[in-house]
Amino acid sequence: MRSLNGEDATNVQNLLPTHGDSEPLDAYSRTVSTVASVVSAGVVRVDVFGQGRNADRPIGMGSGFVFTPDGYIVTNSHVVQDGSRFVVRTIDGERFTGFKVGDDPHTDLALLSIDAPRTAALPLGDSRELQVGQLVVAVGNPLGFQCSVTAGVVSALGRSIRSRSGRLIEDVIQTDAALNPGNSGGPLVNSRAQVVGVNTAAIASAQGLCFAISINTARIIASELIRKGVVRRSQIGLQAQTAPVHKQLRSFHGLQQESGVLILGVEPRSPAEASGLREGDVLLRIDETPLEGVDALFRHLTETAAGKKALLRVLRGREVISVEIVPRMIEE
């Protein structure tokens, strides 16, 4: 397996075809085919085994992808949460024992590790650069069919879906790239073969309504799991999404940032409600941290932020105001 980070990741871009107006369908097909062949080396199948009578037969199966060259694998929390033993399979037919590093049910993300001499770590993109209508490719193992490929577009950005823990996962990507059981945990990639999301859910009663956790969120959670094996965080009690700040307002207030955190809802009896935050407010900064997206707010709301007074800079209508808030720990 060959690493796709560093110089190899740059070479990937040279393999991808340019889009010609004369043959749009053929160019589309070549792009999807090339991206799939490049990414497949870093996509894995995760077989999940239980205990007792379930120790010798899989009780579940999902997908994952190589996050770092030293063998960390990103997948979904719901894929691994009931397992006690994991077998990770590559497209080359190699089998490795997977060790559970940690999982975070609140974002439906988990991290495994494998002891492998070479791993094809996939290059990561920036989910904030995604646009509605952009081509995306999903690679995974639906219903056990190894390394299946589907393609579609980004249908919407900034969605919120409820995790199995009951909490909302923010900044979710909606796509019509078909997902089925077994796709969970696999990568959603752009036309440059960069991972932009972690496939997590499909609405069974609908067609073309599928969701992926943004890679910016996954990068934060995976890093915490590598460092601590668990994610401890504080909260302020918001439902929010990344949203652009109007050019005229940026100019009027001398704002450098082009986007902020738009409040879609405020939880009752939360720090946000106590501070007077409202639906429609746009968070621009917390203390000295610019909030250009929901992922920046997540990075700030760590365990150490709980109980400490913070100053929010908020765009309300056409005015910029300051609001004091005290984040609180999320109770497990």
Domain boundaries, the chain: 124-228, 234-329
Measured distance between the N- and C-terminal CA atoms of the chain, rounded to whole angstroms: 39
Give the pairing type, strands 310-316 and 282-286: antiparallel
How does 286-325 read in b/e, with b if 16+ C-beta sit within 10 Å? beeeebbbbbbbbbbbeeebbeeebebbbbeeeebeebeb
Would you call 45 exposed, middle or buried from its count of C-beta atoms within 10 A (0-12, 13-18, 19+)?
Answer: buried
**Which positions are annotated as active-site residues?**
78, 108, 184
Q: How confident is the model at residue 319 (pLDDT cuts 50, 70, 90)?
A: very high
What per-residue confidence (pLDDT) applies to 295? Answer: 85
**Does residue 94 surpass a pLDDT of 60?**
yes
Q: How confident is the model at residue 2 (pLDDT cuts 50, 70, 90)?
A: very low
Alpha carbon 82 to chain centroid, angstroms? 21
What per-residue confidence (pLDDT) applies to 332? Answer: 58
- CATH (residue range 124-228): 2.40.10.10
More confident residue, 295 or 268: 268
What per-residue confidence (pLDDT) applies to 276? Answer: 96
Pick from 318, 178, 323: which is nearest to 238 by CA? 323
Q: How confident is the model at residue 4 (pLDDT cuts 50, 70, 90)?
A: very low
State mean pLDDT over 199-216.
87
**Does residue 29 surpass a pLDDT of 70?**
yes
Q: How confident is the model at residue 15 (pLDDT cuts 50, 70, 90)?
A: low
What per-residue confidence (pLDDT) applies to 6? Answer: 47
Tokens of 266: 């405020």
88 Cβ contact list (under 8 Å, min separation 6):
44, 45, 46, 47, 64, 73, 95, 96, 97, 98, 112, 114
What per-residue confidence (pLDDT) applies to 18? Answer: 55
**Does residue 73 surpass a pLDDT of 80?**
yes
State mean pLDDT over 245-262.
93
State mean pLDDT over 196-217.
89
Q: How confident is the model at residue 111 (pLDDT cuts 50, 70, 90)?
A: very high
Q: How confident is the model at residue 3 (pLDDT cuts 50, 70, 90)?
A: very low
| CATH classification for the domain delimited by 234-329, as one of 3.30.1490.190, 3.10.20.310, 2.30.42.10, 3.40.1310.30 | 2.30.42.10
**Does residue 8 surpass a pLDDT of 90?**
no
What per-residue confidence (pLDDT) applies to 202? Answer: 80
What per-residue confidence (pLDDT) applies to 9? Answer: 46
What per-residue confidence (pLDDT) applies to 144? Answer: 75
Q: How confident is the model at residue 54 (pLDDT cuts 50, 70, 90)?
A: low
Tokens of 45: 């199948």
What per-residue confidence (pLDDT) applies to 137? Answer: 96
- Per-residue pLDDT tens digits for 156-194: 998 988 888 777 888 899 999 999 888 999 999 999 999
| Averaged pLDDT score across all residues of the chain | 88
SS3 123: coil
What per-residue confidence (pLDDT) applies to 328? Answer: 93
What per-residue confidence (pLDDT) applies to 142? Answer: 87
